[in-house]
Amino acid sequence: MASITLEGLKKSYDGKIQAVKGIDLEVADGEFIVLVGPSGCGKSTLLRMVAGLETISQGELRIGERRVNDLEPAERDIAMVFQNYALYPHMTVFDNLAYGLKNRGFKRHDIERRVADTARMLEIETFLTRKPRQLSGGQRQRVAMGRALVREPAAFLLDEPLSNLDAKLRVQMRVEIKQLQRRLKTTSLYVTHDQLEAMTLGDRLVVLNQGQIEQVGTPMEIYTRP
């Protein structure tokens, strides 16, 4: 794992809309930071800049010691989890998990070992030969997380990964993510508008408002402040 450092990070769309207005933030190695704030405050834009899915207008972005501003998403050693599962429907669970590793030229026995480890960790070993449509929502969400974990990236980005799940599953997955976090000590930047998720998962919370950081603190500090 590695730290993520944002220095004076800015984004303007079409040179006009200032979506992100100068963010300074360090996600420490192994830290889980949750980004919260009202709709339109710039959460997704910020995450997408870190992922490399959006260009950075100004500022510096580092993963560990490495400046990554100009690197392609695949070169950043970061994995992203989205709310829409992003699974390949025509592939089995095994192939969904193996896909990114195959693309990166991993050897077959390394792929098999990593997929097996990840599947065991997420308790999806018995579904490896199924297609996504043969899975429940929660199982699919685990496979989506597995796709990120199997790469053993330096950091994770999660954009409202639980927001499409029903309430029961959301609670269950929240607990599972917390347990994974305790075990793996992943460096993570997690976007949500769910206060309970933020409080349960975050080592620290970052409250964004109109593209700027309004508050940073532990869940206790943020939610007990007058």
Q: Report the alpha-carbon distance of residue 166 to residue 212 in Å, rounded.
A: 31
C-alpha 198: how far from chain center = 14
| Main-chain dihedrals φ then ψ at residue 12, nearest 5 degrees | -120, 135
Task: Kindly tell me which of 71 and 180 has the beta carbon lying closer to ligand ADP.
Answer: 71
How many residues appear in the chain? 226
The residue among 2 and 80 lying less far from ligand ADP, judged by its C-beta, is 80
**Cβ distance to ligand ADP smaller for residue 8 or 40:** 40
Instruction: Write out the two tokens for 116.
Output: 């097996």
Q: At its nearest, how many Å lie between ligand ADP and the CB of residue 156?
A: 11
CB of 84 to ligand ADP, least distance (A): 7
Q: How far is the CB of 58 from ligand ADP (least distance, A)?
A: 15
How far apart, in whole angstroms, are the C-alpha atoms of residue 61 and residue 68?
6
**Closer to ligand ADP by Cβ: residue 17 or 220:** 17
Closest CB 88 distance from ligand ADP, rounded Å: 8
Nearer to ligand ADP, 28 or 193 (CB): 193
3-state secondary structure of 81: strand
The closest residue (CB) to ligand ADP is 100
CA–CA gap between residue 134 and residue 146 (Å, rounded): 17
Structure-token pair, residue 58:
């100004």
How far apart are CB 159 and ligand ADP at their closest, in Å? 8
Which CB, 86 or 220, lies closer to ligand ADP? 86
Q: Which residues bind ligand ADP (CB under 6 A)?
A: 13, 17, 19, 37, 39-45, 53, 73-74, 80, 82, 86, 99-100, 103, 147
State how far the Cα of 113 lies from the Cα of 109, in Å rounded to an integer. 6
Q: Which helix (H) or strand (E) holds 170?
A: helix 167-184
Q: What residue type is assigned to position 33 of the chain?
A: I
How far apart are CB 213 and ligand ADP at their closest, in Å?
A: 13
Task: Indicate the helix (H) or strand (E) that contains 212.
Answer: strand 212-217
